[in-house]
Structure 1
Amino acid sequence: MSGLAGAAVATFLIEAIFKYIFGDFLGIKLLGEVGSSSGSMGGVIAAALVSINMGANPIYAVVAAASLKGMGILPGFFDGYLIGLAGPVLEKKLPKGIDIIGGALIIAPLSRLIAQASTPLVNSTLLNIGDVIRVAAEQSPFVMGFLLGGIIKIICTSPLSSMALTAMLNLKGLAMGIAGIASFGGAFTNGVVFKRLKIGDKGNVIAVMLEPLTQADLVTKNAVVIYFSDFIGGGIAGIVAAYFKIINNAPGTASPIPGLLAPFGFNSPKKVIIALLLAAIGGLIGGFVGTTIYMFIKRVREKRLSVKKYPIDNAV
């Protein structure tokens, strides 16, 4: 999943920023070409990063990736996963000296075959789910803004990857706009939760706002209050995105920094700036509301436990 998330950043985010902002909007041809080139390499980069993360020989990983020209990021993900499983086995079975050449000759066509075979499965399942989410976001923008924004922010903060999930679903349009803005706004929710509950130090507060996955150990120890607050903060930020109709056609950019940058490639800068500011405020509100409710419940529980433990002292 981290390999898929990395591929989304290396391709979709670069495409969004360099092609749509620097290329189409600012008219810088070279940077536009950089974005277009990166955007066309989703399947290739996904196959390479996923298989390397799975433990495959880097040469095998690159050979598998090089055969996937023209393939999408999801077939590349499945291909990288299977090559990551098969690569180490193949490397052990082949005699030393011919393991690299022999493995490359076997993996290249096998990789292409896997990607081609998985494409219909991807199109009939995950992409259809993404289409349903996009249609729902268009038909009920505020409801989906709150629900999708809250859920995506929880996933963004959990050990899972919201970038990988939105890339797998190929989210685009308003749905991806909600996911990206919610990821950004919810970053302020996490900052408030860490600060008010004194989780970690200042470095941890900054780190969880920039990339929650770096603080996975602290998040899992305080999961209830963090996820509860994230649902509120991400939901409010999602409603903001729905209200301003923020479009994001760069799948896989559901993370605080990509969520901040990518919308500029598809919307007017003024509208995006206003939406980001309001989303940040919504994230702050979510953090304060969530932690306030949590601390109130905690005080009530502690009081009840105190009464049960020392009934005579409390009566006196």
Structure 2
Amino acid sequence: MEILMGVVALLGALCLFSLFSFKAPNGSAAMSGLADAAIATFLVEAIHKYVMGNLLGIGYLAEFGNMVGAMGGIAAATLVMLRMGVQPVYAIVTGLAMANLGILEGFIVGYLFSFATPLFKKYLPEGVDVILGVLTLAPLARLVGIFISPGLEVLMGTLASMITEATLLSPIAMGFLLGGLIKMVCTSPLSSMALTAMLGLTGLPMGIAAIACVGGSFTNGYIFHSLKLGKSSNTISVMLEPLTQAHIVTRNPVPIFMSNFIGGALAGVIAAYFGIINDAPGSAAPIPGLLASIAFNEPHTLLMATVAAAIAGLVGGIIGHRLYIKLLAERIPLQHFANG
């Protein structure tokens, strides 16, 4: 039951954000802003605080990474509003009002207030609109952020606890399921960094997510190369950062996501077997996932897990490729781009 509840919780979060991204007004732009915020804060925190600071002992970078990691709410509100075309001064003042609040609070406030800012320009004289807008937006945004924060903390904390408990009870099974699902999110237009950051995953679940993204890079490399999806530069890019090839991924979702689930699941099992942990929420991406994991695991254990996950990712790519060619290629043909 714990495993089932953990899987249901993860699927529920995925469905919610997918539905928002594709159906909400400007949902895709808002999710892109959220992904940008995760990169700007949690990626910097993961590398500088945990690797350069805690592991290598550079105190300044540890302090710097810790400071940046606490600005998720500011970054989310600002970047979501900018992505949605809001005037920069409104985006900045709303973002600053999110100080000491989480990335999810910033995301929600930034999205909601993006629809309010055009009203100032519409109904107020030029110049006055900016002054009154800034003086009005900041306290209102802060009030909304403070109001929704307790509920969001309980909700996200509950989801994270369910996933963590299920993973600890049955690490191999959850390694398979969690690894496969997170790798699919990592390759989709959604952001696995943002998802794991909002859930606040740490420990073994975050370790599985991180290594699944690393191993799944080899799945993507193989499937792009074998199906000739673009040029060699596209193959290299999708291995380093899948979102750079979203235009190809979204045109060929069946072979790519099918292969990603298999490769990510196998890599997730490897991570669970070796007991890889990661206490840097939001580092579920190929490069950050590997670098952040260095700070929390024995070097030889992480090296063996990474090599095994890479092999597992290749195996997943081979299996996915063969399944697609034998069963689905005629009914679901590939969509290639003339320029690669």
Match of 1:148 among 178, 184, 202: 178
Displacement after TM superposition at 1:298 (Å): 5.0
Alignment partner, residue 109 of structure 2: 79
| Residues 1:287 and 2:317 aligned together | yes
Note the 1:32-71 alignment, pairs <5 A: 32-71=62-101
Asked whether the 8 Å contact 2:187–2:243 carries over to 1, the reply is: yes
Report matched runs for 1:147-296 at 5 Å: 147-296=177-326
Question: Who wins on radius of gyration, i.e. which is larger?
Answer: 1
State yes or no: 1:5 paired with 2:46. no
Contact 1:44–1:68, Cα closer than 8 Å, also in 2: yes
* Paired AA for residue 2 in structure 1: S
C-alpha distance in structure 2 between counterparts of 1:130 and 1:294, whole Å: 34
1:28 to 54, 58, 70: 58
Taking structure 1 as reference, are residues 294 and 115 closer, same or farther at Cα in structure 2, changes over 3 Å only?
Answer: same
Instruction: Check whether the contact 1:90–1:103 (CA below 8 A) recurs between aligned residues.
Output: yes
- Answer whether contact 2:46 2:292 (CA < 8 A) is retained: yes
Is the partner of 1:205 in helix, strand or coil? helix
Q: Give the C-alpha shift of residue 265 in structure 1.
A: 2.4
Greater alpha carbon shift after TM alignment, 104-113 vs 156-165: 156-165
Q: Which SS does the other structure have where 2:247 is aligned? A: helix
> Please, what is the CA RMSD of the aligned residues?
1.8
- Report the Cα offset of residue 281 of structure 1: 0.9
- Once the two structures are superposed, residues 144-186 of structure 1 have per-residue CA deviations (whole angstroms, 9 ceiling, x without a partner) of 0000100111111122221222122221211111111111111
Partner of 1:116: 146
Shift of 1:110: 0.8
Shift of 1:254: 1.3
Alpha-carbon distance between aligned partners in 2 of 1:183 and 1:90, rounded to the nearest angstrom: 43
Task: Return the offset for 1:300.
Answer: 8.8
Does residue 126 (structure 1) correspond to residue 156 (structure 2)? The answer is yes
Asked if 1 retains the 8 angstrom alpha-carbon contact of 2:48 and 2:62, the reply is yes
CA distance in 1, matches of 2:74, 2:329: 53
Q: Is the 8 A contact 2:46 2:288 kept in 1?
A: no
Rounded to whole Å, the distance in 2 between the matches of 1:4 and 1:68 is: 14
Runs of 4 or more, structure 1, over 4 Å off, are 298-302
Task: Report if the CA contact (8 A) 1:232-1:290 is conserved.
Answer: yes
Extract unaligned runs of 5+ from structure 1: 303-316
Note if contact 1:149-1:231 (Cα within 8 Å) is conserved in structure 2: yes
In 1: Cα distance, 2:330 partner to 2:85 partner? 49
**Are the aligned partners of 1:264 and 1:272 in contact in 2 as well (CA < 8 Å)?**
yes
- Post-superposition shift, 1:287? 0.3
Does the aligned pair in 2 maintain the 1:189–1:229 contact within 8 Å? yes
User: Sequence identity, in percent?
Assistant: 54
Deviation (angstroms), 1:32: 1.3
Change (3 A) 1:98 1:238: same
Measure the CA separation in 2 of the matches of 1:56 and 1:127.
31
CA contact (8 A) 1:2 1:164 kept: no
User: What is the alpha-carbon distance in structure 2 between the residues aligned to residue 13 and residue 206 of structure 1?
Assistant: 21
